[in-house]
Amino acid sequence: MVLERSVEDRIAESMYPAGITKGVADKAVRRWFTKGVKAPDLAEKARITENYLLYIPFWRFIAQGKAVGCGYSEYREASGNLLRNVFEELIDEEFVWTECACDTGKYGIHELWLEPGGEVPYVPGSVAVMDAGGSAAEASTRGREAIHAMIREKMAKRIQNVTLDKTFLIPKVFELVYVPIWIVHYTYGSGHFTVIVDGVRGEILGGTSPANLTARTRFMILSFAAGGLMIGTALGMLLHTGTFMVSELIQIIILLMGIALCMVTYPAFRSGKTVEASGTMKNINRLRPSLRIPKELTDYEILTHASKLLQCPECGEAVEQPWGEVVTHCAACGKLLDVTADGVEMVSYAAAKPNLLSEAAMEGREPQYIPFWKFSADVEVSDYLSEGETETGLPNIEGKRSYYICAGDIPRYLSEPWEVDLTIRNPEFEELEEVPERMPVFINKKTAKELSEFLYLRYETQKPGILQVLRYTFDVTSAEIVYIPYYKEEAGYIPGV
Ligand SMILES: [Zn+2]
């Protein structure tokens, strides 16, 4: 959640440690010589001339993508009958975008092939690296746009006509990650060739080799023809029945099999709701300082850096953004501040006193005070259409109410039901004079505001019918942090309000 600041001046840097030695890379290349469509005597005649380890940089942007998509698809049956299927999709999962941050030229490496996990801090000068080029701010914008597109693509997979389409993104990590590769040069006859070996797992990422031309040509023809060939054969048989001794039934079966082969990605037409959820905030832990070393700025970056002095609006104290927090208390006056690259904004906050019931039930126990963003919002719906079952047992949450978004370091699968509960109930509570313990705030105002709109939309999709049209305005008039007491039990938490 340190994206806003890290883009500006503190790109986190980490690296994957090399997992294989030079000898292993050498063996992997020699094995590769014997595989696929290559000159038959390659293993025997190739001479490896150089083999060295190099780290190449990648931009990596990890975000939780959330989306609600509604719409319909139509399908005309052979009889002329038009089938219409309505869809309502909810997506809540982690998306990862990577882009090579240097010019890999003829090796053509564009994306990172490794999953997040297993990285160590990158110490400049410790390994041979290709320098990262280009602007971090622009890379982050590209990443953000690419992930929005990925969410949208996933959402609209089954929907031909989209009638509602909202995507949200919670940034988790934006970083430079250095990845080891072995670059192996070899000669064959008078030619020079190169192979790239993944330095973590020892797989061949790509390379050039003298090809066995006859085999390659054969292979290309076959792969192009596979599906089409069968249809062609069957159609040919049907059209020239006289010349073939095959029964019509078998010809039709061959035809159908050919069509099926060509349509492996044919969408399953069925109505309904889909929910995809995964990767729930797990990478948030990777923002911990132990794994992150700030990137040193280059002279160019310092010269072009639009530096802005961040100050507490209350007392003028210079504000330093701590790692892993986007909302922080001023060291001098203690006011709560929402710090972004663009400036510092004061946030009012309060702590809720546990109610009498929970105080009696939990006598002698101290609750944890968990921070929530509380937004006063006004939702006005101008257009609504839901198909199928529309009778709902759920209360209507349009109009004015407070939306609660958990901002503490609590797994989202635990905090999301709390958010819905607090938003529907809008509990009344007394305020404590002082906040007992300041649990760090991990989600800033901008992201929390998007999450509150998503909460509203997700709630609407949980109603029984299949949502098709929803036009609304979501106006937020005020925002504050409220620390809400929760009693930690073995099986979970018990709310104190
Ligand atoms: Zn201050």
pLDDT of residue 21: 94
pLDDT of residue 97: 96
Task: Confirm if 377 and 476 have CB atoms less than 8 A apart.
Answer: yes
Task: Confirm if 11 and 294 have CB atoms less than 8 A apart.
Answer: yes
Residue that the structure tokens 């709630």 belong to? 459
Ligand 1: centre distance to CA 348 (Å): 13
Ligand 1: centre distance to CA 341 (Å): 18
Ligand 1: centre distance to CA 451 (Å): 28
Nearest partner of 60 among 229, 216, 175, 197, judged by Cα: 175
pTM (global) more than 0.75: no
Instruction: Give the DSSP H or E segment for 496.
Output: none
pLDDT of residue 182: 92
pLDDT of residue 285: 36
Q: Nearest 5 degrees, angle CA 363-CA 365-CA 368?
A: 135
Ligand 1: centre distance to CA 193 (Å): 62
Ligand 1: centre distance to CA 331 (Å): 7
Q: Following DSSP, what letter does each residue of 445-481 receive, concatenated?
A: HHHHHHHHHHHHHHHHHTSSSEEEEEEEEEEEEEEEE
Ligand 1: centre distance to CA 326 (Å): 16
Residue ranges in the chain whose pLDDT is less than 50: 1-9, 213, 215-246, 258-272, 275-294, 306, 323-324
Q: Do the bridges between strand 492-495 and strand 466-489 make them parallel or antiparallel, or are there none, so unpaired? A: antiparallel
Ligand 1: centre distance to CA 316 (Å): 6
pLDDT of residue 117: 87
Ligand 1: centre distance to CA 436 (Å): 20
pLDDT of residue 449: 93
Ligand 1: centre distance to CA 342 (Å): 17
CB within 8 Å of 437: residues ≥ 6 apart: 368, 369
Ligand 1: centre distance to CA 372 (Å): 22
**378-423 pLDDT tens trace:** 999 999 888 877 676 777 889 999 999 999 888 888 888 899 999 9
